[in-house]
Amino acid sequence: MAACSICVGVRLMARAFALCLVLVAGMVQAAPPAFEQTLAEGVALRQLGSLNASIEQLNRAAAQAVEDRERMRAAGELGTSLLQSRRLDDARIQLRKAYGMAAGPERAGYALMLGNLAMVLKQEREARQDYEEVRALVGPVPSFLGLSADLNLVRMAPPEEQLPALRGLSELLAKAGKLTDAELAALSLNLAHQAQGLGSEGRALAYPNLQRARSLAPKPGRLQVEALDALARLYEDEARPHDSLALNAQALEQAQQQPIGSVGEPMIALEWRAARLHTALGDPVLALAAWRRVVDRLEALRADIPIDFEDGGSSFRQLFEPVYMGLADGLIKASDGRSGAAHDALLREAMQVVEMIKQSEMQDYLGDRCTVDEVKGGTATVIPPGTAIVYPLIFAERLELLVMTRAGPSRFTEPVPGAELRRTAAQFADQLRNLNPGYIWNARKLYKHLLLPLEGLVAEQSIDTLVVVPDGALRLVPMAALHDGKRFAIERYAVVTAAGLSMTNTSRPAARGAAGALLAGASQFGSAVDRLLQTSQGRELIASVEPERALNTAGDDKPLSTEARSVQERALRESLALPGVTREIDELGSMLPGASRMLDAAFTVGNFREAAASGRYSFVHIASHGIFGGDARSSFLLAYDDLLTLGGLQELLLADRVRQHPLELLTLSACETAEGNERAPLGISGAAIKARAKSVLGTLWPVNDDAAVRLMVRFYAGLAGPDQPTKAQALRQAQRELLADKAFAHPFFWAPFSLIGNWL
């Protein structure tokens, strides 16, 4: 099935909300001009797609409201804008306020909105109650509000009942004489969208409803654009690319007659479809032009596109990633027929697009655009001699390696299916973290695909440092552990990773001799264990934690009984013990003159906050349990007394002193990423971004206590030594020392340590 637009449900909901509020507004008497003007401006901003500005203006309108009806309208409009921007709790407060002040059809309109909000939150019982109330309030005569509620009730019906119910509603719409053309068009579009997902019979029902919507929707206007868009989607789903492209072109022509903001989302869907169809029809020039247009439109609307859609899906996964990857693919293929400066320009543009992907993915992980936007614009063009930046891009049928060095861009193609590469990467990561001796086959297989193609360039340009910006499942793989059949990659060059060069501060560090350090660690834990057990992650902890340095999770989310909680708390206190941390902090403190230390009971969140605010540090080293899950909400570190979330880490490490003197390195020496979750390593990068650290050193899986202490001591000794190596080379030397010891030769011991960000 064709890829969806931003989200069809978002647009259907937005349309229903708009029409509901038009009905409500029509029942309200004129209010004072200042209020009316402010309210109208807020609504107009929403219709133009400027949700943040709309919310600001509607808050002003709410402040200007004097009469109850004014307050009702302001709350309803504000709730609508908040809902479309996915600020769900705030939306519910405003919509309930409007609902409580309304009566009759007005109350029905707000009940419909609350039902839609409950649907967004997957609260089916509440949604059903709201929709049933709408039907009771409007009575048996067909109306826009009643039919909207009926259509939404069909969404919750058993699958076998949905198509018959939609057929009945389609017949009712064909006979509904008291609805306006715009209302009938909107309802027909809603019905067609639902029917289209119900197989061939559903598509057959969708077609006449889409034709009705097209014939009734005002021209020109957004409804007309959406009707043509939906028809084009139907033909694309039925593998009729020429027919789909013709309708798509008509929709684009109609959209171009509207204020650009009012049709921003449909334009993204239309340009995206044009790019897909031109690609499928073998016209790469037109496809590339369409890919560029859709990315331009996405960037223009980025601030107002919610990170999460109303169906719970991610805007990154459903929208940004496939669009950006489509443009990157088009640019790479276009470079095939070019040479010289034109060829290089296309590859550089493709790398810029990949950076946009990485920024969007980090925003999605953190659930926060502002934090990422503040660190964007890294020194990506400053590449030192001896360094290669490698972008592996996994496509369905191949792997592309885009490489940037001081000499310029290069490209290498490996004909390995993406699914196979992901499977190999996941198997390899699993073998390493479980000390499996049979890892070497996958290590060599991945080397063949990822590093062997670069050997000529590496030799020609004397490359000694690879900075990899990994894609998807490749984030699970420590590139240093890849093997050419004779030796590991770490024996040939330093290998580090970056979330994206545009999010990396690549400035060179000042002289390290006088660098300040904050060392914090916990070999045992106090009230943090109790806090841990209050979280969903804590309730999921298995009774037998690995006797290493990390937390393992499994799946029970039920509250613990008092007795079970006491037993598990005692077991956790024992199993969470990190005896090597005391030695680690002591040895690091002795080699870093003037370092501030806090160990065990001294490592409280309050003490850490005070130390971060009062000192000037280049290094912050935290030796304590930590886990990074699939998003920032499931990621944390343990202090002695409490949990330290990524947001909390940001708050503690962004004191004025730290803002003026960014951290050179944040080390998390006992963290791990959730097993098999390819997004989890983003948490380590996210910690660096939150703390404004130029680099972060973390671990991909639970690390051996002795190996961790040895590596950390050797790593910092290298950094503080007279040779002043780069961080990448210092880590490489520390890893090679472990590798040379037969007791630690397996990559399980030395490979999980991952340096992310600034490698200098």
Work out whether the CA dihedral 329, 334, 336, 339 comes out positive or negative. Answer: negative
Give the end of a domain, one of 156, 188, 212: 156
What would the mean pLDDT of 258-284 be, rounded to a whole number? Answer: 91
Backbone φ, ψ for residue 413 (5° rounding): -120, 130
With respect to residue 720, please indicate whether it lies within any of the assigned structural domains.
yes
Residue 466 neighbours by CB distance under 10 Å: 25
Contact 649, 528 (CB under 8 A): no
Alpha-carbon distance of 572 to 525, in angstroms, equals 9
The two tokens of residue 656 are: 């004025």
140 and 53 fall within a common domain: yes
Number of H helices, E strands in the chain: 33, 15
Let me know whether 601 and 465 are in one domain.
no
Quote the tokens at residue 298.
């996405």
Rounded Cα–Cα distance for residues 599 and 526 (Å): 12
CATH number at residue 588: 3.40.50.1460
Q: 486 and 583 share a domain? A: no
Nearest Cα to Cα of residue 601 among 640, 559, 658: 640
Same domain for 466 and 603?
no
Q: Average pLDDT of 434-451?
A: 97
Least confidently predicted of 71-80, 344-353, 379-388, 694-703: 379-388
* Residue 347 within a domain: no
CA–CA separation, 282 vs 735, rounded Å? Answer: 49
Residue with structure tokens 């009702």? 72
Domain annotation covers residue 564:
no
Q: Which residues of 385-404 are buried (b: 16+ CB within 10 A; e: fewer)?
A: ebbbbbbbbbbeebbbbbbb
The Cα angle at residue 453 between residues 344 and 502, in degrees rounded to 5: 50
CA distance linking residue 74 with residue 54, whole number of Å: 12
Enclosing H/E stretch for 517: strand 517-521
The arrangement of strands across the sheet holding 636-638 comes to: 643-645, 636-638, 626-628, 671-673
**What average pLDDT does this structure show over 668-690?**
82
483 with 589, same domain: the answer is: no
Residue 404 located in a structural domain: yes
So what's the pLDDT on residue 513? 58
Task: Please report the pLDDT score of residue 29 as a whole number.
Answer: 46
- With a CB cutoff of 8 Å and minimum separation 6, the contacts of 109 are 20, 21, 23, 24, 76, 102, 145
- Residue 661 pLDDT exceeds 80: no
Same-domain pairing of 484 and 589: no
Rounded-to-integer distance, Cα 357 and Cα 355, Å: 5
Distance CA 440, CA 450 (A): 15
Contacts of 221 (CB under 8 A, 6+ apart): 254, 258
To 5 degrees, how large is the angle CA 419–CA 422–CA 424?
110
Shared domain for 151 and 16, answered yes or no, is yes
Residue 206, in any domain of the structure: no
Entry field: residues in the chain: 760
Checking if the pLDDT of 164 tops 90, the result is yes
Contacts of residue 246, defined as CB under 8 A and 6 or more positions apart, other chains included, come to none
Quick one: how far is CA 550 from the chain centroid?
Answer: 25
Mean pLDDT of 118-143: 92
Interval 520-526 mean pLDDT: 94
290 touches 245 (CB < 8 A) = no
Q: What is the pLDDT of residue 4?
A: 43
Domain stops at, among 138, 156, 174 = 156
Q: Which two tokens stand for residue 384?
A: 């030192």
Give the pLDDT score at 562: 67
First to last CA, the chain: 47
Query: φ, ψ for residue 661 (rounded to 5)?
Result: -135, 85
Query: What is the average pLDDT across 384-412?
Result: 97
Task: Report the side by side order of strands in the sheet with 695-699.
Answer: 408-414, 399-405, 387-394, 465-468, 494-497, 753-757, 695-699, 665-668, 619-623, 517-521, 596-599
pLDDT at 26 over 50: no
Same domain, 493 and 589: no
Residues linked to residue 756 through DSSP beta bridges, in sequence order: 497, 696
Q: Which pairs from 540-545 meet CB under 8 Å and 24+ separation? A: 541/568, 541/572, 543/568, 543/571, 544/575, 545/571, 545/572, 545/575, 545/576
Picking from 107, 138, 156, the residue at the C-terminal end of a domain is: 156
pLDDT > 80? residue 18: no
Task: With a cut of 50, say whether residue 545 has pLDDT above it.
Answer: no
Residues 19 and 73 in one domain: yes
- Kindly tell me the burial class for residue 381, based on how many C-beta atoms sit within 10 Å of its own C-beta (0-12, 13-18, 19 or more): exposed
* SS3 assignment, position 673: strand
Strands 753-757 and 695-699 come out as antiparallel
Indicate which CATH number applies to the domain containing 479. 3.30.420
Strands 494-497 and 596-599: unpaired
Within-domain flag for 148? yes
Rounded Cα distance, 95 and 102, in Å? 11
CATH classification of the domain holding 129: 1.25.40.10
DSSP letter for each residue of 386-430: TEEEEEEEE-SS-EEEEEEETTEEEEEEE---HHHHHHHHHHHHH
- Contact status, residue 503 vs residue 358, Cβ threshold 8 Å: yes
pLDDT at 3 over 50: no
- One domain, residues 521 and 468: no
Residue 313 to residue 319: CA distance in whole angstroms: 10
Domain assignment of residue 31, yes or no: yes
Angle at alpha carbon of residue 741, lines to 736 and 746, rounded to 5°: 75
Q: Is 179 left (phi over 0), alpha (psi -120 to 50) or beta?
A: beta
Q: What is the mean pLDDT of residues 285-300?
A: 94
Q: What percent of the chain has pLDDT over 90?
A: 62
Whose tokens are 């580090």? That residue is 496
Q: Can you name the residues that pair with 671 across neighbouring β-strands?
A: 626
The Cα 408–Cα 216 span in angstroms is 56
Instruction: Give Cα separations from 372 to 363, 376, 457, 572, 653 (angstroms).
Output: 6, 6, 33, 35, 16
Summarize the confidence of residues 38-56 as an average pLDDT. 89
Check if the beta carbon of residue 313 is closer than 8 Å to that of residue 305. Answer: no
720 shares its domain with 752: yes
| pLDDT given at position 536 | 62
Residues linked to residue 643 through DSSP beta bridges, in sequence order: 638
Greatest Cα pair distance, the chain, in angstroms, is 87
Q: Which of 177-181, 400-404, 606-610 has the lowest mean pLDDT?
A: 177-181
197 touches 158 (CB < 8 A): no
- Residue 343 dihedral angles phi and psi, to the nearest 5°: -60, -50
751, part of any domain = yes
- Side chain identity, residue 441: W
State CA 335 to chain mean position distance: 29
Own/partner pairs, 36-40, CB within 8 angstroms, 24+ separation: 38/64, 39/73, 39/74, 39/77
pLDDT reported for residue 553: 43
Adjacent-strand bridge partners of 599 = 521
416: containing domain: 383-450+461-497
Alpha-carbon Rg of the chain, whole angstroms?
A: 29
* Residues 733 and 596 placed together within one structural domain of the fold: yes
Is pLDDT of 233 > 90? Answer: yes
Mean pLDDT, rounded, of the chain: 87
Do strands 619-623 and 517-521 pair parallel, antiparallel, or not at all (unpaired)? parallel
Is residue 21 scored above 70 in pLDDT?
A: no
CB atoms within 10 A of CB 527: 12
CA distance 124 to 146: 18
The residues that bridge with 276 in the sheet, in sequence order, are none
Q: Given a cut of 90, is residue 497 above it in pLDDT?
A: yes
454/284 Cα distance (integer angstroms): 28
- Total domains, the chain: 3
